Structure 1
Amino acid sequence: MVETNLKAETMRLMKQRDLIEAEMNSIIQRLCQPGGAGLSGNLLDFEGFPRADIDVPTVRADRCCVAGLKNDYKDLTEKIDHNLQLLHAPKLVSKSSAPMDSETGKAMDSQTPFISNGCSSVSPGRAFGRNSAVLAAVDPEVKQPFAMVDEITEASPSAEDGLQLGDQIVKFGTVESGDNLLSRLASEAQTNVGRVISVMVMRQGALTNVSVTPRIWRGRGLLGCHFKIL
């Protein structure tokens, strides 16, 4: 019953996240339309007055809304990841079938299960979200990282959206490991200008989801970062 409720709750959170993503995409497309202010464009003219070619209060409200939605998206993703970890965690061993301590002859405590990380046993509270082996076990479809962020320009879309130097890319939108990765990454960004792309990265040994939005800004490219193929 508990597992069924957790699955239902996770599905509900996923649907809620999809709605937030759709709303974000709609606002971002409006902001990034030709002649628009974008997500970070200057709202003042060269004389320091509010630009006359855009509705400055509306743009500010839209930007504020996107920032709030991104926070909500991140929170939901963390809850979903936590639920998935719980759903895939080893079941607690019952008292009746608990292993016996060879020295005391008593059943070992079934309420303190251990999860193997490939080297030693650690409690779930320390393993979840911190060990890449545990996270890979949670989702067997997770592939190995295929690229790494080795350069990020300050104030670029990738920097503002949360990518970090050293992030290892596991999945970038629809792009996973394979051939012609650089061209596929570039094509994915160009195809999704003004739309949110879900990026799965390995960061300090833990899988993390980041939402990035390719867009025109004052620097080069649509993201302002460089990927090194691993």
Structure 2
Amino acid sequence: MVGANLKSETMKLMEKRSGIEAEMNAIIEQLCQPGGPGLSGNLVDSEGFPRADIEIPVVRAQRHRLAELKNDHQEITEKINVNIQVLHSAKLTSTPKESGVEMNQNASVVNVGASVSLQNLALRDSHGANDVDMISGVPFAMVDEIADASPAAEDGLQLGDQIVKFGNVKAGDNLLQRLASESQVNQGHPILVTIMRQGALLNLSVTPRTWQGRGLLGCHFRIM
């Protein structure tokens, strides 16, 4: 019961973190729109005068709010990491949820695995490609179960990872069927997977494959 309560608390923290990330992305999108000041661009022109093309008080308020959200995000992430370590050490297991998808070889469920080829695209205080990556990272599913010694665990997928893209699958309709099809069609072949982890976008090379346990990857996805 304690483990179940801890997992429930962790999932609520993850949902709260997702809300913070959504607000951060909205602010970033506003600051980084064409002609905007970016996350840390100058608010004065080349002659040292306040820029007339932007509302400086609004920009300052947005940047201040973004800094607050970053701090909140870090605090929640630290709590999540502690809970996840406890859950992993306890080796908790649970049955698949109706709102999720457990990737196996059946059409109704899909088990996922991944070979690690990580590229950290963490949010930074500059206006550039990383800002665009952060804006475009809209997760549609979350990893809430990973079996020990499974392909997913061995290849680097972690509890709490939020799926932004799984091969050709992005947010949309019929996600369960599309995830299942993507995994089955690419069995034995790498799939590019983009995830959100602790506020950063990461790229994984995922290879669905058979192993001693259920499915092709041994993890469970909860649709967000």
TM-score normalised over the length of structure 2: 0.47
| TM-score normalized by the length of structure 1 | 0.46
| Structure with more relative contact order (C-alpha pairs < 8 Å, separation 6 or more) | 2
The structure having more radius of gyration, on CA atoms, is 1
